[in-house]
Amino acid sequence: MIAVRDDTATTACPVCGVAFLPEGRQRFCSTGCRQTAWRRLRSAPAEPIVARADTVYECPSCEARHLGEQRCDDCNTWCRRLGPGGPCPCCDEPVTISDLFAADQLANTATAKTEPEEVTNRT
């Protein structure tokens, strides 16, 4: 069913919220609000998400490690993510944090729960 339009009613501007009496198919209260809406609609796109520079990747074919690069240049294949890491200070090869620590050092250890101290009211 087609809704009947009431041309005598006031309309709120979608940009500034001011009530105005539209003329014809007018949607905005002023030229400035119309231009603001157009600029918001056509604003610059967001930057694409790129690989983080602190993530280590490993090629499944040649097992070469890459820091922040998801594609192996030698094999032309996608690498698998190993985890966060950085360059080794000695040999400058990419190493992950899990390479530096044992599994039990990385696991969350449960802290011992202590009973809350009882507060006594001294007067």
pLDDT at 44: 74
pLDDT at 30: 95
Classified as helix, coil or strand, 55 is strand
Closest CA to 98 of 110, 111, 112, 84: 84
- Amino acid, res. 30: S
Query: Binning pLDDT at 50, 70 and 90, where does residue 34 land?
Result: very high
Residue 48 has pLDDT above 70, yes or no: no
Q: pTM for the complete prediction?
A: 0.45
> Quick one: how far is CA 109 from the chain centroid?
29
Query: Binning pLDDT at 50, 70 and 90, where does residue 112 land?
Result: very low
Q: How far is 39 from 25, CA to CA, in rounded Å? A: 20
